[in-house]
Amino acid sequence: MQLFHQVIADNARKYPTKSAIVLDGVATTYEQLQQRADDFAALLPTLGVAPGDRVGLYAPISVELIGAYLGVLQAGAITAATHHTLSRAKLIHQLKHSGARVLITDRTDDLPALIEAAGLELILLTVPVPTATPRVIQLADALATHRAQHAPAIPPLDADPERPTSIFYTSGSTFNPKGVLVNHRIMLAASSRVTTYLQNRPDDRILSYSTLASDYGVYNVMMPLFAGATSVIESRPASSAEDVLAVVEREAVTAMHVFPPVFFLLADTGPQWQARIPGLRYISSSGQTLHTRHIQRIRQALPQVQIFSNYGLTECKRVSYLPPEEIDQRPTSVGKPLPGVSLYLIDEQGRAIDEPGQVGELLVTSDYLMLEYWNMPEANANAFIHDAFGHSRLYRTGDLFKRDAEGYLYYVARKDDVFARNIWNVNPREIEQCLAAHPAVAQVLVVPVPDESAGHVPKACIVLDAEHRQTSEESLLDYCKARLDWHMVPAHCVFLEALPKTDSGKFTAKGLI
C-alpha cells in the first residue's frame, strides 16, 4: 500500500507543470510543491528530527507550510497544528501535550521563552529573522544551505500504512482540546471515499478557505492533490456572495468545499451569476446545519450546481452524505452512511433504536475511524464502546440523530446542547431551523441564558437580511409562537451585525451567552 504523501508525489510525476496550489491567486505547480516537500523531508533528519517525532505548525496558510506538511510525512514524523490566531498560552499547552520537538511558525517575539515554556528543541521561522541562533533558524536559509551542501536525500522509510501522520486538535475548552491521532491508512481511506462520491477528477479546481490547523482544513487542501486536481485556497475569509463568486469566476473553480457560513453567503447569489460561472459543478458543506431557505435560494439562482450536505467529525472524517438529487426532497437530511461506515442510534440505556423518527445518540465505526485521542487515556475510555453490535470498537459521537422510514439521517443536536427550561427539554437547533425559515433572518444562533425561575431560557441571536432591517423582535417571537411549543419560543431576540465564528470558520456561541 502506498503512503498518503506518495499518492501526491505520483501525481507530481504525472502532472509536473499543472497548478497544484493556487493560493490567493498565485499558482504553484506540482513539481514546485513536490520539490519543497522533498527538500524539507531531507532537511529534518539533519536537524535531529526522527520518525515518530512531533512537529508543531503555528502559521497562516502558505505554500511553504503545505510543502512542510508533506515533508514531515515523508520523513516519518507527525504534524501537530495549532491555529495561528490562538493565544500563545494555548500554543504552549498544545505543544507540551503533543510533545513537539520542533515548531514551524511565523512568530518572532520572545522565542527563547517560547522554547523553554513549550519544551522545544528548535524553531523554524517562515519569515526572515535578523539574527539566527542554534535553536531559532530561518527555514529558507536552512533549506538553501542544505541544497548547497548537496546533502543526500532522506532514505525511503518502510511503507507502513499504520505509521501515524498527524494529531488534529478538536475545538474544546480553553486548555482541554482533544488531539485526534490518524495514520496513513486512515488518511488514504478517507480521501478515497470522499473523492469517489464527489467524483473528483484531475481537471477539477476546488475552492476552500482553509488552513492546516484542523482535519477539515488539511483534507480540503490535500484531497484535490490526492485526486491530481488543483487546490484553490483563499486565505482571507469572504464577506459577501460576490467575494466568493468572484474567486470562482477568476480561477475557473469547478467545486467548493466550505463551511455553512460561506454557504449562507451564497444565498444572496442572483441568477445573473449562472452565465459567469458555468464550470461550477458542486458545493459541498459540512460542520453545521444547512437551512432549507438558503438551499432553496441557491438552487433557484444556480440550478446547475449540485449541493452536497454532509456530516462528519474530526474523529471519523466523513460519516454520511446526501446525494444531490435528494436535496430538494430532503433538505434537512445529511443522507446515509458512506460505504464502509457502520452506524447505530442508541437510547439512554444503550439499546439500538430502529423506529423512524426516534432520537438517539449516534455510534459510528469505519476503517478511517481515528486511532485514539493522543495521550488522553480517560477520554479514550469514555469515547469508545467495545464489542457491541458485532464491532470491536464503536465511537460515541455525542450527537443526537433520527432516521426516516427510508433510512436517511437527520441531525438533531449535540447531546450537551439540549438544556432544560423548567422541566421541558429545549433543542436550540430546532429553534434555529424555525427562525431561519423567516424571510428576514439571514443567520441565527440560539443559546441558553440563565433564568432565576426557569433555570435556562433560549435567546436567539439574529443577523437580519439587508432588505428586512426594520423587522422587530416582537414579530419574530410571534412567528415562533405560531410554529413552536411554548417552551421552545425564545425569551429574547437580539440583533447583531454578524455572528461570531471559530478560527476554522464555523459559527460559534462563544461570547453570546
User: What percentage of the chain exceeds 70 in pLDDT?
Assistant: 98
pLDDT in tens, 92-122: 999 999 999 999 999 999 999 999 999 999 9
Right CATH number for 30-181 from 3.40.720.10, 3.30.479.30, 3.40.50.980, 3.30.1360.20? 3.40.50.980
Reported confidence tier of residue 153, pLDDT bands at 50, 70, 90: low
**Integer Cα distance of 15 and 196 in angstroms:** 20
pLDDT value for 173: 44
Q: What type of residue is 134?
A: P
**Integer Cα distance of 454 and 161 in angstroms:** 53
Which residue reads 501522520 in cell numbers?
Answer: 165
Q: Is the pLDDT of residue 181 over 60?
A: yes
- The β-bridge relationship of strands 102-105 and 54-58 is parallel
pLDDT in tens, 4-55: 999 999 999 999 999 999 999 999 999 999 999 999 999 999 999 999 999 9
Q: Is the pLDDT of residue 72 over 80?
A: yes
Question: Which residues of the chain form CATH 3.40.50.980?
Answer: 30-181
Question: Which residues of the chain form CATH 3.30.300.30?
Answer: 422-495
* 3-class secondary-structure state, position 438: coil
**Integer Cα distance of 445 and 465 in angstroms:** 15
Tell me, yes or no, if the pTM score tops 0.95: no
**Integer Cα distance of 213 and 219 in angstroms:** 11
**Integer Cα distance of 469 and 234 in angstroms:** 30
For 244-341, list the strands marked E by DSSP.
255-258, 282-285, 306-311, 320-322, 336-337
* Cα radius of gyration (the chain): 24
Reported confidence tier of residue 176, pLDDT bands at 50, 70, 90: confident
pLDDT in tens, 184-214: 999 999 999 999 999 999 999 999 999 999 9
Higher pLDDT, 511 or 170: 170
Q: Is the pLDDT of residue 504 over 80?
A: no
Instruction: Classify the C-alpha dihedral 369-295-306-261 as positive or negative.
Output: negative
User: Between the CA atoms of 104, 105, 110 and 113, what dihedral angle is there, to the nearest 10 degrees?
Assistant: -30
Contact 84, 502 (CB under 8 A): no
pLDDT value for 151: 63
pLDDT value for 452: 78
Q: Is the pLDDT of residue 152 over 70?
A: no
What size, in residues, is the chain?
Answer: 513
**Integer Cα distance of 91 and 58 in angstroms:** 8
Q: What Å distances lie between residue 317 and 190, 216, 253, 424, CA to CA?
A: 7, 8, 24, 34
User: Looking at domain 237-413, what is its CATH homologous superfamily?
Assistant: ANL, N-terminal domain (3.40.50.12780)
Is residue 244 exposed (0-12), middle (13-18) or buried (19+ Cβ within 10 Å)? buried
pLDDT in tens, 248-271: 999 999 999 999 889 989 988 888
Neighbours of 217 (CB within 10 A): 23
User: Within its chain, how far is the Cα of 39 from the centroid?
Assistant: 28
**Integer Cα distance of 174 and 177 in angstroms:** 7
First to last CA, the chain: 49
**Integer Cα distance of 410 and 312 in angstroms:** 13
Mean per-residue pLDDT of the chain: 93
**Integer Cα distance of 405 and 136 in angstroms:** 60
Containing 192, the helix (H) or strand (E) segment is: helix 184-197
In this prediction, residues 167-182 reach a mean pLDDT of 80
**Integer Cα distance of 83 and 214 in angstroms:** 8
Lowest mean pLDDT among 168-177, 412-421, 461-470: 168-177
pLDDT in tens, 291-300: 999 999 999 9
Here the contacts of 497-502 (C-beta below 8 Å, separation 24 or greater) are: 497/463, 498/443, 498/463, 499/261, 499/443, 499/444, 499/445, 499/461, 499/463, 501/237, 501/261, 502/171
pLDDT value for 150: 66
Which residue reads 438544556 in cell numbers?
Answer: 419
Higher pLDDT, 154 or 458: 458
User: Between the CA atoms of 67, 73, 77 and 81, what dihedral angle is there, to the nearest 10 degrees?
Assistant: 60
Lowest mean pLDDT among 151-165, 220-234, 278-292: 151-165
Question: Which residues of the chain form CATH 3.40.50.12780?
Answer: 237-413
Q: What Å distances lie between residue 65 and 7, 58, 205, 236, 432, CA to CA?
A: 19, 9, 20, 16, 38
Instruction: State the architecture of 422-495 in CATH terms.
Output: 2-Layer Sandwich (3.30)
